[in-house]
Amino acid sequence: MVRMSAEEPEELPAYAERVLEVAELIPPGRVMTYGDVAEWLDEGGPRQVGRVMALYGGAVPWWRVVRADGALLPGHELRALGHYRAEGTPLREAGRAAEGHLPKLDMRRARWDGGTHT
């Protein structure tokens, strides 16, 4: 879960700073998974990145660091969806059988590999 308060600790742990720096590099309309961020840093794993985002992610574009299955962050779905739509992030809309359900991210098209900002 992403902490949405504006409160910032006086000093972030070094690993948290590195995770948040990667989150800020992700271009609008693109995403990286928790595992992608850990791999980019060559340190930690998806759970560690998720923990950092939960504790400190409110100060960065938290909606761009996501679950590998493309599901929207529980408890923050509508807020994230607003960001995705505003940025043009590729989504897979819920089909008729899933009426009333929220879309998922189209991970094949939305995932950013850390290369060019396209």
Q: What is the mean pLDDT of the chain?
A: 88
pLDDT at residue 28, as a whole number: 97
The 10s digit of each residue's pLDDT in 26-78 is 999 999 999 999 999 999 999 999 999 999 999 999 999 999 999 999 899 99
Strand-pair partners of 33: 66
Q: Among 8-22, 47-61, 81-95, which range has the highest average pLDDT?
A: 47-61
Strand-pair partners of 104: 92
The residue ranking higher by pLDDT, 72 or 10, is: 72
Domains of the chain, CATH where assigned:
14-110 (1.10.10.10)
- Could you give the CA distance from residue 45 to residue 20 in angstroms, rounded to a whole number? 14
- Could you give the CA distance from residue 61 to residue 75 in angstroms, rounded to a whole number? 16
- Could you give the CA distance from residue 26 to residue 61 in angstroms, rounded to a whole number? 8
Those residues with Cβ within 8 angstroms of residue 101's Cβ, 6 or more apart along the chain or in another chain: 94
Say what the pTM is: 0.83
Helix (H, G, I), strand (E, B) or coil at 87: helix
